[in-house]
Amino acid sequence: MKDIAVADVRNFVLLGHTGSGKTMLCDAFLVKFGLTEKQGQVNAGTSLSDFTEEEIGRKISLYTQSFAGVFKTKQGQKIQMTFTDPPGFDDFYGQVLCASRVADAALITIDATAGIQVGTNRIWRRCTALGLPRGIVITGLDKENADFAKILADAQKVWGPQCVPVVFPTPGGMVEVLGATAPAGATAPAGAAAADWQAYKSALIERAAETDDALLEKYLGGTELTADEIAKGLRAAVCAGNLIPVFAVMTPKDIGVNELLGGIVRLFPTPLERTVKDAAGTAINPAPQAPFVGVVWRHVTDPYAGKLSYVRIYGGMLKENTEIFNATKGQKEKIGVLLQPQGRKPVPITEARSGDIVALPKLKNTGLNDVLCAVGQKVAFEPVVFPSPVVSVSVWARNQADDDKLGIALTRAVEDDPTLVVERHADTHETLLSGMGDTHLEFVHELMKKRSNLDAEFKVPKVAYKETATGLGDGHYKHKKQSGGRGQYAEVYCKVQAKRSDEEEWFVDAVVGGVIPRNFIPACEKGFLEAIPHGVLAGYPVVNVKVSVYDGSYHDVDSSEIAFKIAAARAFKEALIKAKPVLLEPIMTVRVMVPEQSMGDINGDLNHRRGRILGVGMEDGVQVITAEVPQAEMFRYSSELRSITGGRGSFEIKFARYDVVPNTIAQKVIAGAEKKKEEEE
Ligand SMILES: Nc1nc2c(ncn2[C@@H]2O[C@H](COP(=O)(O)OP(=O)(O)O)[C@@H](O)[C@H]2O)c(=O)[nH]1
Ligand SMILES: [Mg+2]
């Protein structure tokens, strides 16, 4: 905001397991900033962050929302708070990756009755990887059975003693460990809480002192640190990750929210204090007078506003109606209107500076993750690495008119969401849409309806089976037709067998004595090539076979290229039938991350899916099972894993290799293919 210095800006992201109170906190902040009078409620569908139909229906966040507001501290200082509320639900982790990258700090919500959850651990690791300063907010303290001390102890056990309360609940109300002018101003609570207060205060001051050798010496020498020294030290400690302030809130009762905002002002870094490096390791100059640098971290196609690119500004200034440079695309870009994100109703502004998030409508050449900078500059950042999709559906239009819309709708969906992939399967000829979970894909379905007025059909994809030979087979076909004028004649003998991995050539010409003339050998090869895509068991493509043509006959007048092609293809089929053909199926490597107590159920379930467990181990405090499982058994795994683990499991999946389908299952696949063929005929 124009009248607020960059040093008075705080930019942070709310992160936490789904349902841990991020959005409710966001709505509470908006009241404090005077952006609304009545606090929105996720439950009642009145949240200003979860405002879309899809979110109101599900009562969870699906879209990242950013807000900017002004918080007035107790001393009357005006602070611009720019913050982002991404969804916590697993399937939308891609949005967390983007939103966390562009924040200067993270506020991590932990519900006091649920404790540290799978989602909490995951975002913690993300923050660590980014070196993102963070604070913890313990929410839901108004709920029955809420236990602040227990959550604090758990946090310290998992993440270390740097988790220190700055606000904590007592029977007499919330108590601040630090005063508004840290630490003077805060008073010790009466009764039993006094000892905790003293312990937290000492821990905070110690952490502040540790940031600077001179301060530490002074502190250890027994001299009291000044309020200024403590204040500076605390911020430096948070910035370096040596202090993780812990806050406490009862959001529905508006208890602890002011203290939390005050703490953010005091403890979280300003955009000038965070070092952001480009891909080459050079620090970006965050000063407003430095050249403009920003990154597009979110991209949406709004049904009303059209395309919106959300940009985090890292350095310099951006003004409306100017020209900038898209360094990723190497193209100039014209900026028209600047919008300050405000949930549903963005507000037009004339300029923005480092630390700000702005939405830029209708950029022509710009996409997600592009780096924008001042003309004449060239900046690149390490790209965000997104996880690979784990679930796929095949997408179909219900009628001809929809068929034309389908491509556009899919392109739009993928453009805005880097965790969605659309591809055409070369063997099954299906259009596959892959994403992070069933909820993710359901959501895309809904979005396509809303944005593109298209009710596409999502089906379980076909398995791309293949066929191969396991033995040696001999085939023969004589193609002979005599009908009036010139006839057709060709005779081919061939052998089909499995191709060894060290063999390069799949086709061998073993014809001797010119029984098939040289000029017809390529026709034989073509005939085999035309037969190979349609196997003899269930019509699937044939792989890994070696074919040799070794005998045959011809006719001076009636033989032709086409005749030899036909004979070769038929001979191939016969040889393959005799070469002990088998069906092959894609085998996937699956890594399943689950809590300890679900291990037995998960193993049992994987066995049931014809899985082969390769190993079990611990990674970052969770059990990881690695297994190989046929793809045919994995299409519905996302929701089943959720039901087995109560939402506490996640998995990764990638193609490993093809392997032989067990006989009983192969029989079913073959029967299915025959039935389909009959239906088509
Ligand atoms: N009693 C109580 N309920 C809360 C608190 N914070 C959030 N909730 C409720 O918990 C549910 C999930 O909260 P929400 O903010 O949507 O969680 P998010 O998924 O982290 O954004 C909603 O129904 C909120 O009303 C809290 O501090 N106390
Ligand atoms: Mg939410």
Q: Does residue 23's CB lie within 6 angstroms of at least one atom of ligand 1? A: yes
pLDDT of residue 41: 86
605 and 572 belong to one structural domain:
no
Residues 442 and 502 occupy one common structural domain: no
Tens digits of residue pLDDT in 154-165: 999 999 999 999
pLDDT at 305 over 80: no
Q: Do 169 and 299 have their domain in common?
A: no
Q: Helices (DSSP H) in 103-189: which residue ranges?
A: 118-130, 148-159
pLDDT at 182: 53
User: What pLDDT, on a 0 to 100 scale, did the predictor assign at position 486?
Assistant: 79
Indicate whether 573 and 588 sit together in one domain: no
Q: Kindly state whether residue 359 falls inside one of the protein's structural domains.
A: yes
Asked if 494 and 573 touch (Cβ cutoff 8 Å), the reply is no
Asked whether 493 and 571 are in contact (CB, 8 A), the reply is: yes
pLDDT at position 96 is 95
Nearest atom in ligand 1 to 251's CA: 27
Whether 302 and 261 map to the same domain: the answer is no
Does residue 278 form part of some domain? no
Gap from CA of 251 to ligand 1 centroid (Å): 8
Q: Do 125 and 174 have their domain in common? A: yes
Residue 448's CATH number: 3.30.70.870
SS3 9: strand
Average pLDDT in the 562-569 region? 96
Collapsed DSSP state (helix, strand, coil) of residue 354:
coil
Pairing of strands 244-248, 134-139: parallel
Q: Which of 24, 25, 63, 117, when mutated, tests ligand 1's pocket best, judged by the most ligand atoms within 8 Å of its CB? A: 24
Question: Could you tell me which residues are beta bridge partners of residue 318?
Answer: 352
Band (180; pLDDT cuts 50, 70, 90): low
| pLDDT score recorded for residue 185 | 60
**Tokens 């020209």 appear where?**
323
Query: Is residue 39 scored above 90 in pLDDT?
Result: no
The confidence band for 620, taking pLDDT boundaries of 50, 70 and 90, is: low
According to DSSP, the residues that pair with 468 across neighbouring strands are: 582
Q: Domain check: are 369 and 254 in the same one?
A: no
Backbone CA torsion sign across 500, 503, 506, 507 = negative
Asked if residue 227 is part of any domain, the answer here is yes
Tell me whether residue 268 is exposed, middle or buried, using C-beta atoms within 10 angstroms of its C-beta: 0 to 12, 13 to 18, 19 or more.
buried
- The Cα 613–Cα 624 span in angstroms is 11
pLDDT on residue 482: 82
Burial class (CB in 10 A: 0-12, 13-18, 19+), 323: exposed
Determine the pLDDT at residue 100. Answer: 96
pLDDT reading at 465 higher than 70:
yes
Whether 273 maps to a domain, the answer reads no
Q: How far is the CA of 407 from the centre of ligand 2 (A)?
A: 31
Write out the H or E segment, with its range, that includes residue 99.
helix 93-101
List all residues 6 or more positions away from 294 whose beta carbon is below 8 Å from its beta carbon. Answer: 311, 312, 313, 314, 318, 371, 372, 373
88 close to ligand 1 (CB < 6 Angstrom): yes
pLDDT band at 227 (very low <50, low <70, confident <90, very high): confident
Residue 476: which of 545, 538, 561, 553 has the closest Cα? 553
Is the residue at 277 inside a domain? no
The atom number, within ligand 1, closest to the CA of 59 reads 16
Q: Is the C-beta atom of 42 inside 6 A of ligand 1?
A: yes
Query: Are residue 642 and residue 625 in the same domain, yes or no?
Result: yes
* Residue whose entry in the numeric block shows the structure tokens 């900033």: 33
Q: Are residues 112 and 243 in the same domain?
A: yes
* CATH number of the domain residue 614 falls in: 3.30.70.240
Local confidence band at 648 (pLDDT 50, 70, 90 cut-offs): confident
* For residues 480-493, average pLDDT: 88
pLDDT at 2 over 80: no
Over range 308-316, report the average pLDDT.
Answer: 95
Span 584-601, pLDDT tens digits: 999 999 999 988 888 999
Pair (93, 21) in one structural domain: yes
Between CA 374 and CA 293 the distance in angstroms is 7
Measured from the CB, is residue 143 less than 6 Å from ligand 1? yes
Within a domain: 274: no
Cis before 662? omega within 30: no
Mean pLDDT along residues 66-72:
95
Helix/strand/coil for 505 = coil
Of 579, 606, 632, the one marking the end of a domain is: 579
Exposure string for 133-162, b = 16+ CB within 10 A, e = fewer: bbbbbbbbbeeeebebeebbeebeeebeeb
Question: pLDDT value at position 303?
Answer: 65
Distances (CA, A) of 549 to 53, 542, 577: 65, 17, 16
Over residues 410-436, the mean pLDDT reads: 91
Q: What is the mean pLDDT of residues 377-401?
A: 92
Nearest Cα residue to atom 23 of ligand 1: 43
Question: Does 636 score more than 90 pLDDT?
Answer: no
Q: Is 139 in the pocket of ligand 1 (CB under 6 A)?
A: yes
Does residue 247 lie in a domain region? yes
Closest CA to 544 of 496, 585, 588, 591: 496
List the CATH number of the domain containing 355: 2.40.30.10
Ligand 1 close to Cβ of residue 390 (< 6 A): no
* Average pLDDT value for residue range 611-634: 91
- The CA distance from 267 to 261, in Å, is 10
Is residue 318 in contact with ligand 1, taking CB distance under 6 Å?
no
| pLDDT for res 597 | 86
User: Does residue 146 share a domain with residue 48?
Assistant: yes
Write down which residue in 403, 431, 459 finishes a domain.
459
User: Rounded CA gap, 200 and 165, in Å?
Assistant: 6
Looking from the CA of 57 toward its CB, the CA atoms found within 13 Å total: 7
Say whether pLDDT at 279 is over 80.
yes
The answer to whether residue 280 is domain-embedded is no
pLDDT for 426: 87
- Does the CB atom of residue 16 touch ligand 1 within 6 A? yes
pLDDT at residue 80 is higher than 90: yes
Q: Model pTM?
A: 0.86
Q: What domain count does the chain have? A: 5
- Ligand 1 centre distance from Cα of residue 55 (Å): 14
Residues 404 and 429 in one domain: yes
pLDDT band at 554 (very low <50, low <70, confident <90, very high): very high
- Which whole number is the average pLDDT over 227-233? 90
Tell me the pLDDT tens digit for each residue of 495-521. Answer: 999 998 888 899 999 999 999 999 999
Last residue of a domain, one of 459, 478, 494: 459
Q: Find the CATH number of the domain harbouring 35.
A: 3.40.50.300
Strand partners, 392: 434
pLDDT, one tens digit per residue, over 596-616 is 888 999 999 999 999 999 999
Mean pLDDT for 237-258 is 95
Position 344 confidence tier, pLDDT thresholds 50, 70, 90: confident
Q: Are 2 and 351 in contact (CB under 8 A)?
A: yes
How many percent of the chain have pLDDT more than 70?
A: 98
Alpha-carbon distance of 174 to 334, in angstroms, equals: 50
Q: Give per-residue pLDDT as tens, 183-218.
A: 556 777 888 888 999 999 999 999 999 999 999 999
Query: How far is the centre of ligand 1, averaged over its atoms, from the C-alpha of 201 (Å)?
Result: 29
Domain that holds residue 193: 6-267
At 483 the pLDDT is: 74
Q: Is the dihedral of CA 179, 183, 184, 189 positive or negative?
A: positive
pLDDT at 61: 84
What is the rounded CA–CA span in Å between residue 162 and residue 135?
Answer: 10
- Return the higher-pLDDT residue of 80 and 619: 80
State the average pLDDT for the chain.
92
If pLDDT is split at 50, 70 and 90, which confidence band does 74 have?
Answer: confident
Q: Which residues contact 318 (CB under 8 A, 6 or more apart)?
A: 292, 294, 311, 324, 335, 338, 351, 352, 353, 358
- Output the domain CATH number for residue 487: 3.30.230.10
